[in-house]
Amino acid sequence: MTQKSVLLATLLLSAAFPAVGRSAVEVPSLSAAAGRYAITPKSNIGFAVDQVGGGGIKGRFGKFSGTFNLKAGDLAHSIVNFELQPESVSTGQDRVDAFLRSGAVFDTSHFEKITFRSERVEQTGPDSAHVSGTLTAKGHSSPESFDVKLTSFGDRSIAFNVSGKIFRSRYSMDVGTPIYSNVVQFDMMIEGQRD
Amino acid sequence: MPRSAADRYDLLTIILHWLIAALIAGLLVLGFVMTRSSIDPALSFSLFQWHKSFGMLALLLAAVRLLHSWLVVRVKPTDGMGHAEHLAARSMHHVLLLLAVAVPLAGWLIASVSPLEIPTFAFNTIVIPHLPVPKSDAAEAWWTTVHAVLAYSTLALVLLHSLAALHHHYHRHDGVLARMFPRRHRSAETSIRELKP
Ligand code: HEM
């Protein structure tokens, strides 16, 4: 679909449902998008931690999996389950990766997985939502939430931009503060493939 | 400032001398401990940061001390010291003054050339910028070696220097060690010695 027709469709949609408002992509009706999706390896789990004086550490996780279930009449009870293997972290610096895997941060030899289970989904706009749930890492669980924005929607696939800020200190990973920020900024592209 | 030779060190020299001595001793221990591979990585990281903070303080004080010593301080040779002895002592003092600057400078270069670009955030208060040098793993390895060799050479020379000072004090009973202490302490030392038969 061309830019123009997306725009047109968006305009038509917003004209038909004024509450829907403006959006960058064609917003599917919830019933069209409803269903169970598996998160594909094409997704990108990126993060960044700022450091004093500018710059910081940027990285991504290569191994992860998950599912989400969009419920047509009941978006609030849609469910997202996600887990990643911290072992698969990469920052472009082997020494930094080794430090992140060590007991100082992820302690991957004792904690193989970091998981997120959603508890509530709140729609915040025509193509956006706020997902709250529980993040478990290094033996600590804490409520966290992410902002989700629809970026593309096809026949069998759907993609979102997911962003959120996590305080490392909640998971006893606050080594290196205040040189490195306590806040980890997640910027993820999550692509789902319909089951 | 007139450069007439005095028979004792000024207070600034004395304060800087002992502060820098304590810093160097602490930094040698810290530097050795933090680089052991058996140490917990989180502890190691934090010891590195303390090492860099105190190291930068040592650099600042050593630079002041070096300039002050070269531009201002002039002390007379202690009575009873031969020419060669005096020359050896002076050379040792110059080498130590230089090493006290060179060792932390090499440390600053490790932090500056490292591709990890870990900031030097002195005492979690002041960001000390990296020196403007190209970054590479090879340069980091090179400066790490230079820093270690200079640091442990400093340790060896400091031991010689301290042994010489103790020798002067306990065997020769001259004023060499005493004049690196403030006057009150020195006169107390002297009067105790004078009481002895
Ligand atoms: C008088 C000041 C200093 C002394 C006596 C000193 C001493 C030492 C010693 C003994 C080591 C261990 C060497 C080894 O066994 O491999 C060391 C390592 C180190 N020092 Fe210093 N240091 C000083 C200042 C600094 C400063 C100012 C910095 C940086 C701002 C610094 C950064 C480092 C680093 C990064 C290492 C670890 C190198 C590695 O990766 O092995 N040092 N230092």
Dump pLDDT digits (tens) for A89-115. Answer: 999 999 999 999 999 999 999 999 999
The two structure tokens encoding residue A1: 């679909």
Chain mean pLDDT for chain B: 92
What confidence category does residue A69 fall into, taking pLDDT thresholds of 50, 70 and 90? very high
Minimum CA–CA partner of A101 in chain B: B41
CB-nearest to B119 from A93, A95, A179 is A179
How far is residue A12's CA from residue A22's CA, in Å, rounded to a whole number? 10
Burial of A62 (0-12, 13-18, 19+ CB in 10 A): middle
Domains of chain B: 4-195 (1.20.810)
Residues constituting chain B: 197
Pairing of strands A128-137, A35-39: unpaired
Asked, for residue A21, whether it belongs to a domain, the answer is no
Closest C-alpha to ligand 1, atom 17: B31
Q: Which residues of B146-174 are buried (b: 16+ CB within 10 A; e: fewer)?
A: bbbebbeebeeebeebeebeeebbeeeee
Q: Does the beta-carbon distance from A93 to B115 stay under 8 Å? A: yes
Asked, for residue A3, whether it belongs to a domain, the answer is no
Asked, for residue A5, whether it belongs to a domain, the answer is no
CA–centroid distance for B59 within its chain: 9
Which CATH number does the domain housing residue A71 bear? 2.40.128.110
Q: Who contacts A133 (Cβ-Cβ below 8 Å, separation ≥6)? A: A80, A116, A117, A118, A119, A120, A143, A144, A145
Q: Which residue has the higher pLDDT, B108 or B74?
A: B108
Best mutation target among A179, A180, A181 (most B Cβ atoms within 10 Å) is A179
Quote the ipTM score.
Answer: 0.86
Domain that holds residue A184: 31-194
Nearest to A89, CA basis, from A76, A102, A78, A80: A102
The per-residue pLDDT for range B160-197, each reduced to its tens digit, is 999 999 999 999 999 899 999 997 654 544 444 444 44
Q: Who contacts A136 (Cβ-Cβ below 8 Å, separation ≥6)? A: A114, A115, A116, A117
Asked, for residue A102, whether it belongs to a domain, the answer is yes
Best mutation target among B43, B45, B123, B131 (most A Cβ atoms within 10 Å) is B45
Residue B184's pLDDT is 65
Number of domains in chain A: 1
List residues near ligand 1 (CB under 6 A).
B 24, 27-28, 31-32, 35, 48, 51-52, 55-56, 58-59, 103-104, 107-108, 110-111, 120, 144, 147-148, 151
Strand, coil or helix: what is B57?
Answer: helix
| Residue that is written with structure tokens 């026949």 in the block | A155
Q: Give kind and range of the element (H or E) at residue A166.
A: strand A157-167
Asked, for residue A175, whether it belongs to a domain, the answer is yes
CB-nearest to B119 from A52, A95, A99 is A52
Asked, for residue A13, whether it belongs to a domain, the answer is no
Distance B71 CA to ligand 1 centre (A): 28
Asked, for residue A155, whether it belongs to a domain, the answer is yes
Nearest to B178, CA basis, from B3, B59, B7: B7
Other CB atoms closer than 10 Å to residue B72's CB: what's the count? Answer: 12
Residue A18's pLDDT is 37
CA distances from A32 to A23, A40, A135, A189, A193 (A): 17, 20, 29, 21, 14
CA–centroid distance for B102 within its chain: 10
CA distance A179 to chain B (A): 7
Residue A39's pLDDT is 98
How far is residue A33's CA from residue A41's CA, in Å, rounded to a whole number? 20
The per-residue pLDDT for range A4-35, each reduced to its tens digit, is 444 333 433 333 333 444 556 677 777 788 99
The two structure tokens encoding residue B186: 């020195």
The per-residue pLDDT for range A145-178, each reduced to its tens digit, is 999 999 999 989 999 999 999 999 999 999 999 9
Pick from B16, B110, B121 the residue to mutate for probing ligand 1's pocket: most ligand atoms within 8 Å of its CB: B110
Q: Does the beta-carbon distance from B119 to A99 stay under 8 Å? A: no
| C-alpha radius of gyration, chain B, whole number | 20
Asked, for residue A18, whether it belongs to a domain, the answer is no
